[in-house]
């Protein structure tokens, strides 16, 4: 494995960042998780757009042009002979002192890892996901805007801790007002009739890249789309439900809080969306090898 750090490539054993890096000390930085399907980078432009947008909001200057950053990522994929991979592209505030002040960090750190990620076994996709509502609430978007894909994921980690020893696959965050928001690592969708519903980003849900692709695919087959404010009542009474995420892709939800969703099996519309998503992922994307 070859890992890119600030213009150089290192083995996994030799790849290191400073203990004084504010990405480590304070979670001060941004990242993207990106997929490579068959030598094609999935939704490259939206991912890079989001990375730079997140960095701009936290006044983090990425020390590479967009073209340089993309080439660094592509070269990392090529050096790892990547064909079907998960890519983690990270920009931290960089090395500073033990104080919080970001102005003490003269230059950001950029690194890129290409590897594998498996969040859920294949059989979960076949039988469907079991989900539980979390007692931990999603961070208020007035505190940290959810559109910033930052390195501080402690809210998600705290939610994940609630899943230990429980026979479920994911946890569902509610807002402090009780509205359905998102899961610990995935966006959530509901289906009612011909309507595809997903929580509004205003609630604190990350506007995911896979989420956006699924919404376009659904619109393409005539489904009505709605971003709104939903409660657990809406989830329990949905005809179907599913999760989306870069790593998870599209996963059917068949149960929430021991209540079956619809018939309690992956629904026909969800299965059609999954098929369309896999076809889209396989046949689109930016080539790694030219």
What phi, psi does 101 have (nearest 5°)?
-60, 115
Neighbours of 121 (CB within 10 A): 9
CA distances from 98 to 106, 148, 154 (A): 14, 24, 20
Nearest to 212 by CA among 43, 31, 34, 36: 43
Q: Which residues are catalytic?
A: 149
Burial class (CB in 10 A: 0-12, 13-18, 19+), 110: buried
Burial class (CB in 10 A: 0-12, 13-18, 19+), 267: buried
| CA–CA dist 213, 232 (Å, integer) | 25
Report whether 173 contacts 137 (CB < 8 A).
yes
DSSP letter (8 states) at residue 13: T
At 258 the three-state DSSP class reads coil
- Give the per-residue SS3 of 198-236: EECHHHCCCCCHHHHHHHHHHHHCCCEEEEECCCHHHHH
Burial class (CB in 10 A: 0-12, 13-18, 19+), 211: buried
Q: How many residues does the chain have?
A: 290
| CA–CA dist 15, 290 (Å, integer) | 28
């Amino acid at each position: 494995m070859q890992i890119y750090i600030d213009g150089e490539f290192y083995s996994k054993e030799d790849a290191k960042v400073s203990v004084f890096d504010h990405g480590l000390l304070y979670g001060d930085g941004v990242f993207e998780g990106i997929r490579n399907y068959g030598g094609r980078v999935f939704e490259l432009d939206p991912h890079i757009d989001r990375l730079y947008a997140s960095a701009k909001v936290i006044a983090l200057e990425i020390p590479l042009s967009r073209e340089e950053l993309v080439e660094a990522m592509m070269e990392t994929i090529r050096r790892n002979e990547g064909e079907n991979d998960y890519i983690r592209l990270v920009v931290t505030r960089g090395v500073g002192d033990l104080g919080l002040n970001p102005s003490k960090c003269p230059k950001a750190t950029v690194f890129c890892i290409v590897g594998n990620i498996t969040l859920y076994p294949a059989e979960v996709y076949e039988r469907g996901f079991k989900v539980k509502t979390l007692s931990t609430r999603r961070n208020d978007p007035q505190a940290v805007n959810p559109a910033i894909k930052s390195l501080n994921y402690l809210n998600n980690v705290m939610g994940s801790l609630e899943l230990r020893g429980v026979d479920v696959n994911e946890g569902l965050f509610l807002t402090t007002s009780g509205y359905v928001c998102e899961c610990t690592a995935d966006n959530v969708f509901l289906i009612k009739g011909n309507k595809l519903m997903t929580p509004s980003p205003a609630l604190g849900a990350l506007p995911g890249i896979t989420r956006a692709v699924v919404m376009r695919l659904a619109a393409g087959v005539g489904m009505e789309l709605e971003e709104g404010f939903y409660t657990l009542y809406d989830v329990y009474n949905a005809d179907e439900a599913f999760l989306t995420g870069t790593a998870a892709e599209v996963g059917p939800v068949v149960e929430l809080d021991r209540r079956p969703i619809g018939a309690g099996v992956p629904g026909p519309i969800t299965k059609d969306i999954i098929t369309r998503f896999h076809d889209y992922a396989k046949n689109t994307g930016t080539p790694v090898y030219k």
